[in-house]
Amino acid sequence: VLTGTVKSLSRGPPQEPGWAVLSVLSVPKPGGLGVPAPAKGATLRLQLPCRLCPALKKGSTYVLMGRLGGDGAALLLPPDAFVVPFRPQQQQLLANLSKRPCRGTP
């Protein structure tokens, strides 16, 4: 899960995936998958397999959850990914989630 602002979008031809570049604002649970969290203000590339969904708008801020790509650097954002516009009220909720320990078994 991360919060970020869309800096650029490229949709590409219909048979090719598109890309979005986000400026990272926060990562509530850094390192959860053994992958270091990007620093605040860092940019992150998101692969968009579907040209139309999720519907992202340049300049807008979102809370989103995707999957790491094969290279471990880019995120894959499938059409069924969790993507919601960010609202300031969510910041406290995300901060509370970051403090909760994981109860799952490895």
Q: What is the pLDDT of residues 52-66, one digit of tens each?
A: 778 889 999 998 887
pTM (2 d.p.) = 0.74
pLDDT at 76: 77
Residues in a beta bridge with 68 = 75
**Of 58 and 32, more confident:** 58
In a domain, 105, yes or no: no
In a domain, 90, yes or no: yes
CATH of the domain at 95: 2.40.50.120
**Domain range enclosing 89:** 2-99
Q: Which residue has the tokens 């094969």?
A: 70
- Show Cβ contacts of residue 73 under 8 Å, excluding neighbours closer than 6 positions: 45
In a domain, 104, yes or no: no
